[in-house]
Each structure stands twice: as C-alpha cells, then as structure tokens.
Structure 1
C-alpha cells in the first residue's frame, strides 16, 4: 500500500470534512449520537469550515491519500500557545485523524512526522496536542513517538466539559 502525504488543497475540503466527521463520530460518539455531538460534528466538519482552515494563514492541513482516496489528515496551528506550556514558539497538532480501516498501517506515523516537520520549519520548538482521556489508542500513540504528558486540561464544546491529556514533544529544527 502506497500512501501519499501532501498538503491539502481547496478541492479536498469536502472529503476532509466527511472523513473528519466519520473519525470524530467513531471516536467521540461511543454511546451514540446526542445533540452536542451532532452539532459539533456538523459545525466543525462542514466543507465551508474545512475550506476556511485550508485558506487560513498559520494553519496547515496535511492529507494522507491511498489510491486517490483520502484516508487521514493532520491539522496544525502554528504559533499556538497553551496555558500549561511555558515555552515560546510552539505549535498545536489540532487533529490527527485516520479512517478506522487504515489505522495500524503507519499512516498516523507518517502524518505526525509531516506535522512535526511543518511545525519545526515554521520555527516551532515544541509540538503539542490534547487527547480526550477516553481515547485509549491516542493515549498510547503519542508516548510511543516521544511525546510527554504535560498536564490534564479540560475541553468544553456545546456546553459539555471533557477531561483531556496534554502531550508535547520538543522539535529538532535541523530535522525540518
């Protein structure tokens, strides 16, 4: 299986949105669909929302493509600090989404590596990500790739608060 990692283009917005919604629901709607989950999914992954992200300076979307089909994406926000991180020049990995049937094939590693390179080349000294405390797979994924737990913040959407883990990794500027 050959996987192409590339920057997202405006024509990818529809497929990224649908892929993002699928992974979001698989990950967070573990007890079914309720209003808060449905509203968040429809808002966050509307093609118009994704198109805005692709065009937004300081945001990078990187896609994974297999046989001309999108199977995953990474979303990075450059110059994105966090209250629990004292370092300057940090970037946030906002999403690392892989379609379920393509997990365990190294695509997440490839996307994460591309995200780290993008952040480092933009001058970030550290890449951080928050992971929902109920996402066991992601909680194991990041430490295996050199990320340390930096804290346990919460995330609120649609009036609901959820426990997270904050992971961070120092980036090597020479590897960018």
Structure 2
C-alpha cells in the first residue's frame, strides 16, 4: 500500500478542517452529546481557525495519504503553540487522527513515529499529549509506546467539561 507523509501548509486548511471534523466525529460521536460534539467541531475545525494554526511558526501539521487519499494527520506544537505551558524542551502532540476506514493499518504508529522523529530533530526531550480519560483504547496505545500519565486538564466538548489525561514520554 502506497503511503505518504507531507507537511501541510495554509493551502491545506480546508482539507484539514474536513479531515479533522470527520475523524473527530468518527472517534467521539458515540460517547458524547451530539449538540456538544457539533459545537466543538464547529469551533475547532473551522477553516479560518486552521489557517491561523497552520501559520503559527511553532505548529507543524503532517498529512498522511494512503492510496492517494487523505487518511489522517498529525499536529505538533512547541513553545507558545502548546496548549499547556510547556518546557522549551517539550513538544506537544495536539492531534493524531486517522480515519476509521484506515485504522488497524499501522498508521497511528507511523504518525507517532513521525512525532518521535520530529522531537529528535528539534532536540525536544519530552513529548506530551492529552487524551480523553474515557478513551481507554487510546490510553493503552500510548502506554505501549512509553507514555505515562503525568497529570490531567479540563477539555471542553462544547459546553461540557471533560477530563483529558496528560501523558508524557521522555526521550
């Protein structure tokens, strides 16, 4: 199967908005109130918001293409782009999304490896991410790759307050 990772630019905002909304809905629709889910999607994956994120010098997006179609993406943050105040030696994985039709093909692992490679390239000593406490499958996935729970923070799904576990891996 032919796969490609490419760095995304501002021109990819519409694609990332659709890909993000689709994958987020696929992953979280079953466990969340539809109205709150739609509020979150409308805000987080608004094309203009994604253009701003893509233009931020301390954020990087990578699109995964499988068989010529977008299958997922990765968003990495350093410095002031991190969603929590982080050390200058840290890198955040803010989003690691794979379409449900492409899951179980090793793409999550491949995107995670890309994050590890970028952390090494940019001399980041820690990689961290937030994962919904009820997403046990994702928590187990990250634990397999050396992440440990180091804290938590509030995450708002629309108006509903939820808890994300902070998971960290030290290189």
Same fold (TM over 0.5): yes
Describe the shift of the 1:32–1:123 C-alpha distance in structure 2 as closer, same or farther (beyond 3 A).
closer
Task: Return the alpha-carbon distance in structure 1 between the equivalents of residues 91 and 38 of structure 2.
Answer: 28
SS of 1:146's partner is coil
Give ranges in structure 2 of 5+ residues lacking alignment: none
Task: Return the alpha-carbon distance in structure 1 between the equivalents of residues 11 and 84 of structure 2.
Answer: 31
- 1:21 corresponds to: 21
- 1:139 corresponds to: 139
Q: CA deviation at 1:123?
A: 2.8
- Higher deviation after alignment, 10-19 or 59-68: 10-19
Q: String of CA shifts for 1:10-34, please: whole Å, max 9, x gaps.
A: 3322221111101111222215653
- 1:58 corresponds to: 58
- 1:129 corresponds to: 129
Number of aligned positions between the proteins: 169
2:47 paired with 1:47 = yes
- 1:2 corresponds to: 2
Q: CA deviation at 1:98?
A: 0.3
SS of 1:152's partner is strand
TM superposition score normalised by structure 2? 0.88
Describe the shift of the 1:125–1:34 C-alpha distance in structure 2 as closer, same or farther (beyond 3 A).
same
- Within-5 A mapping of 1:1-176: 1-31=1-31, 34-79=34-79, 80=82, 82=84, 88-171=88-171
Task: Return the alpha-carbon distance in structure 2 between the equivalents of residues 2 and 141 of structure 1.
Answer: 24
Give ranges in structure 1 of 5+ residues lacking alignment: 172-176
Task: Return the alpha-carbon distance in structure 2 between the equivalents of residues 155 and 11 of structure 1.
Answer: 28
Describe the shift of the 1:106–1:141 C-alpha distance in structure 2 as closer, same or farther (beyond 3 A).
same
Task: Return the alpha-carbon distance in structure 1 between the equivalents of residues 43 and 153 of structure 2.
Answer: 23
Q: String of CA shifts for 1:71-114, please: whole Å, max 9, x gaps.
A: 0101111123846x7x6511110010000011111111111111
TM superposition score normalised by structure 1? 0.86
SS of 2:57's partner is coil
